[in-house]
Amino acid sequence: MNRTEPLVDPNRRAELFPVTRRWIYLNHAAVGPLPAYVLDAARHYLEAISRDGDHHWQETLQVVEDARTLLAELVGARPEEIAFTRNASEGISVLANGLDWQPGDNVVLPAIEFPANVFPWQNLARRGVDVRYVPLRDGRCEAADIIARMDGRTRVVSVSSVQFFNGFRLDLAPLGAFCRDRGVLFCVDAIQQLGALPLDVGSGSVDFLACGGHKWLMSGEGIGFLYCRAELLDRLHPAAVGWMGVRDWEHMLNYRLEFPPAARRFETGNLSAFGVHNLKAAVGHYLRLGPAAVAARILTLAELTAEAAGQRGWTVLSPDGPARSGIVSFRVPGCDAVDLVARLSAAGVQAAVRNGAVRMSPHFYNTAEEVAEAFIRLDRIVKSTDGR
């Protein structure tokens, strides 16, 4: 593929991605804007419930199951291994609160995890569970470093497959295989990967995965999902239960608390049908476009971003090669990142600040021209900052 060849028909880009009319949007690692095909699904659902109330309930249930099937395809799982959640934090909490911990057990995490993958584990302190942090080396936390922090009491290793701060992408397979060999559960926060770069739970030996829909999947906030490997289901005690998570939920007065052989046991009651409609539209579109083509496009744009920062002599904090993802972070010497990003926003470019660095995260519909233009605007800001 040509390095700058677009994946989206340029004549339809503004129609499909309305955000492009106003912004150069390089902030998908924070929140992905809703594409028109997701907005249409949302509108369809809201209009139906506004017009007809409960009349479409059966259709809604079907949409939930269709979305579950698409999510299973997204991560290489079976639909019974997928449950909807509100967000990644809730998904990770299902695992953290579901295990039968013994005092002295420990969980191993990289030292720069997003707090969604820290607090659910810290919350187990009252059950005597220790959280062990793996220090980073040169912005990376490799499998070998994590393995070195494990011991005979390690029950879970929990990692972001792509780090939120500098985008370091971990090679899951060797770490997953090591954990599987030793009977340690391997949990992945995949929110910075799914929708951008492919992930297969089988080849990564992943036992449990949590994700939210509002970043690279561009489905809006408040809807997410988890994957729980079928063999793990019965080892987790659902910490929250509800009427729709049981085997015979349609028989409302039967009161038998029996779980189905499926991850939907973690779903409690009614889901955000709104969110599920959005997620279904977004994931369906992504799978039709082709995960490999999307990944190639994002990696090209990320590389152009890193090159642009590097050429200016700025400090690029993101790894290249196989550890590259859709996230590129850099520091501009002598400039405050918060100030830069605020002024960049005023100039029509959205990026983020994380850990004192500018973070850019282009998606497949962005263009090479947008990346180049973002840096031209950044140059102007940096120049005026120097002169102040």
**Positions 71 through 110 that interact with ligand PLP (CB under 6 A):** 87-89
If the CB atoms of residues 87 and 300 are measured against ligand PLP, the closer one turns out to be 87
If the CB atoms of residues 7 and 224 are measured against ligand PLP, the closer one turns out to be 224
Q: How far is the CB of 213 from ligand PLP (least distance, A)?
A: 8
If the CB atoms of residues 187 and 246 are measured against ligand PLP, the closer one turns out to be 187
Q: How far is the CB of 49 from ligand PLP (least distance, A)?
A: 25
The reply on whether position 224 binds ligand PLP by CB under 6 A is yes
If the CB atoms of residues 194 and 306 are measured against ligand PLP, the closer one turns out to be 194
- Amino acid residing at 287: L
User: Running DSSP on this structure, what letter comes out for residue 318?
Assistant: S
Dihedral (CA of 67, 73, 75, 77) sign: positive
SS3 (DSSP) at 121: helix
Contacts with ligand PLP, 318-357, as mask; x by CB under 6 A = ----------------------------------------
The residue assigned the tokens 């309930």 is 57
d(CA 255, CA 247) in angstroms, rounded, equals: 10
Out of 191, 226, 276, 298, the residue judged to bind ligand PLP by CB under 6 A: 191
Dihedral (CA of 121, 188, 218, 87) sign: negative
If the CB atoms of residues 92 and 143 are measured against ligand PLP, the closer one turns out to be 92
Q: What pairing do the DSSP bridges indicate for beta strands 106-110 and 130-134?
A: parallel
* Pair of tokens at residue 316: 């690029």
User: Running DSSP on this structure, what letter comes out for residue 81?
Assistant: G
If the CB atoms of residues 257 and 338 are measured against ligand PLP, the closer one turns out to be 338
The residue assigned the tokens 């349609």 is 250
* Stretch of 39-47, 111-119, 253-261, 275-283 lying at the interface with ligand PLP (CB under 6 A): 111-119
Contacts with ligand PLP, 249-288, as mask; x by CB under 6 A = ----------------------------------------
d(CA 9, CA 39) in angstroms, rounded, equals: 19
Out of 20, 154, 160, 305, the residue judged to bind ligand PLP by CB under 6 A: 160
Element (H, E) at 180: helix 172-182
Q: How far is the CB of 354 from ligand PLP (least distance, A)?
A: 9
* Stretch of 9-17, 99-107, 185-193, 343-351 lying at the interface with ligand PLP (CB under 6 A): 185-193
Using an 8 Å Cβ cutoff, are 177 and 209 in contact? no
d(CA 56, CA 131) in angstroms, rounded, equals: 46
The widest CA-to-CA distance across the chain, in whole angstroms, is 74
- Amino acid residing at 16: L
User: Running DSSP on this structure, what letter comes out for residue 188?
Assistant: E
If the CB atoms of residues 191 and 378 are measured against ligand PLP, the closer one turns out to be 191
Interface contacts to ligand PLP, rule CB under 6 A: 87-89, 114, 116-117, 160, 164, 189, 191-192, 212, 224
